[in-house]
């Protein structure tokens, strides 16, 4: 299991995406990675402040990148589906 990155880690996020999307290049700066509590850093507040609550069933992409003394590591990217069911549209049409 990889260890959590050290301080000065930038967090970037994407606006909510279609759940079938597998690639994203649209990232916006959310802030620095908050201090860990236990084994996790909670970025929920940063994400919601920037984009609002993502709709259930959408996909969000998060990218982290450590920067120290002007040097940057390669970014680490992850994505996840937002829990809950996506509302489905009813098909309408003449039959």
- The 10s digit of each residue's pLDDT in 2-52 is 555 556 899 999 999 999 999 999 999 999 999 889 989 999 999 999 999
- For residue 1, the model assigns a pLDDT of 44
CB 47 within 8 A of CB 39: no
Q: Which alpha helices (H) appear in 1-95, and where do they start and end? A: 44-51
CB 76 within 8 A of CB 65: yes
pLDDT, mean of residues 59-76: 92
For 61, residues 6+ apart whose C-beta sits below 8 A from its C-beta are: 13, 14, 17, 24, 27, 77, 78, 79
pTM given for the model: 0.78
DSSP state, residue 17 = B
- For residue 49, the model assigns a pLDDT of 97
């Amino acid at each position: 299991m990889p260890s959590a990155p050290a301080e000065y880690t930038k967090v970037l996020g994407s606006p909510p995406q279609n759940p079938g999307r597998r690639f994203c290049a649209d990232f916006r700066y959310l802030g620095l990675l908050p201090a860990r509590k236990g084994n996790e850093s909670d970025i929920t507040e940063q994400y919601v402040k920037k984009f609002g609550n993502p709709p259930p069933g959408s996909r969000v992409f998060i990218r982290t990148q450590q920067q120290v003394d002007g040097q940057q590591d390669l970014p680490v990217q992850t994505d996840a589906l937002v829990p809950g069911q996506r509302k489905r549209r009813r098909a309408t049409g003449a039959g």
